[in-house]
Amino acid sequence: MAATATFGFLDDDTARSLRGKDLISIHDLEAGQVEKIFEVTRLLKAQVPAGEARRILEGKTLAMIFTKASTRTRVSFEVGMWQLGGHALYLSAQDLQLRRGETISDTARVLSRYVDGIMIRTFAHDDVLELARYATVPVINGLTDLLHPCQALADYYTILEKKGRLRGLKLAYVGDGNNMAHSLLFGAAKTGVNISIATPEGYGPAEDVVKLARTDAAATGCEIEISHDPFAAVKEADVIYTDVWASMGQEAEHDVRVRAFQGYQVNEHLVGAAKADVLVMHCLPAHRGEEITDGVIEGPHSIVFDEAENRLHVQKAILALLLS
């Protein structure tokens, strides 16, 4: 019997609209589809017994392509597939013929004959787009230099879990306008969270991403602010979010970036300028003492490890909806 016949929450109109779909960007999702991911996350996390959950993707296989190192992405997807009854294959760049010149398009078509879905964590966003163009199974963006959609979905689910709502809250992002900033922008626009991003000059989010997010925001009424003032950004904030100043692949820029980002550290002084019950988030790994202090990440406002846990649960929902 098909899993969708057993689990009604995977067989309504919204769930069916996600089945077989790629997840490349939150921008590509409808607001109702984001809500559906969160609904399935809640059910899988707390209400569906483990034995039943393991029937959802029984016999299904996920290929996981990694050209970037990973802790949370690899473990959460691999464990998530196992908990849903499926199997995950870890494929590093050294394991595939990509390093010997096989094209992404050929890799996509070959893997589509073997597996039920492909997750990729890589540098160039165009590689993910090409993979999705030629694959005949769902492709999930596990991270690119442009976007990190699974992390942002886990972040907004965690906020929903902690605050009981999303629409009308304010999230302040302080730091580099990187892939996390981009996906948080798209997530805010889809969920109705007001977002204020503060970066040093020259390090802001990509203009085309901001433009698309503003277009999405018109439907939910959320406000998007881009500035260079971290204290203005965190004023009345319900959530403060930060990320490393030098992302993977930018190690050579580390010292320059540390100088440029002075004044953008999420420390006790900055947290004190937000609401008294503000939540502090970081997607990890954290460079303690740079973008965030040890006292904040270990302090009473931090929900950093709750959001890390929710990568597992949100991605299980994504896998269940796309692959079932």
- Res 145: pLDDT: 96
Quick one: pLDDT band at residue 99, thresholds 50, 70, 90?
low
Q: What is the pLDDT of residues 277-320, one digit of tens each?
A: 999 999 999 999 999 999 999 999 999 999 999 999 999 999 99
CATH at residue 158: 3.40.50.1370
Q: What is the pLDDT of residues 114-151, one digit of tens each?
A: 999 999 999 999 999 999 999 999 999 999 999 999 99
- Res 1: pLDDT: 34
- pLDDT greater than 60 at residue 5: no
Residues 283, 301, 313, 315: which is the catalytic one? 283
Together in a domain, 102 and 142:
yes
Together in a domain, 112 and 162:
no
Together in a domain, 187 and 271:
yes
**168 lies in which domain range?**
149-305
Q: What is the pLDDT of residues 158-213, one digit of tens each?
A: 999 999 999 999 999 999 999 999 999 999 999 999 999 999 999 999 999 999 99
The pTM of the full predicted model, rounded to 2 decimals, is 0.96
What average pLDDT does this structure show over 11-28? 98
HEC readout, the chain: CCHHHHCHHHCCHHHHHHCCCCECCHHHCCHHHHHHHHHHHHHHHHHCCHHHHCCCCCCCEEEEEECCCCCHHHHHHHHHHHHCCCEEEEEECCCCHHHHCCCHHHHHHHHHHHCCEEEEECCCHHHHHHHHHHCCCCEEEEECCCCCHHHHHHHHHHHHHHHCCCCCCEEEEECCCCHHHHHHHHHHHHHCCEEEEECCCCCCCCHHHHHHHHHHHHHHCCCEEEECCHHHHHCCCCEEEECCCCCCCCHHHHHHHHHHCCCCCECHHHHCCCCCCCEEEECCCCCECCCECHHHHCCCCECHHHHHHHHHHHHHHHHHHHHC
- Res 94: pLDDT: 81
Catalytic residue check, 54: no
Higher pLDDT, 247 or 65: 65
Together in a domain, 9 and 112:
yes
Residues 27, 72, 121, 301: which is the catalytic one? 121
Catalytic residue check, 176: no
Residues 33, 83, 151, 315: which is the catalytic one? 151
Together in a domain, 91 and 198:
no
Together in a domain, 191 and 206:
yes
Q: What mean pLDDT is reported for the chain?
A: 95
Residues 27, 182, 311, 313: which is the catalytic one? 311
Together in a domain, 135 and 158:
no
Together in a domain, 214 and 136:
no
Together in a domain, 183 and 236:
yes
Catalytic residue check, 182: no
Catalytic residue check, 222: no
Together in a domain, 296 and 165:
yes
**Number of domains within the chain:** 2
Percentage, residues of the chain above pLDDT 70:
98
Residues 27, 74, 125, 148: which is the catalytic one? 148
Together in a domain, 300 and 202:
yes
Catalytic residue check, 311: yes
Together in a domain, 81 and 208:
no
Catalytic residue check, 121: yes
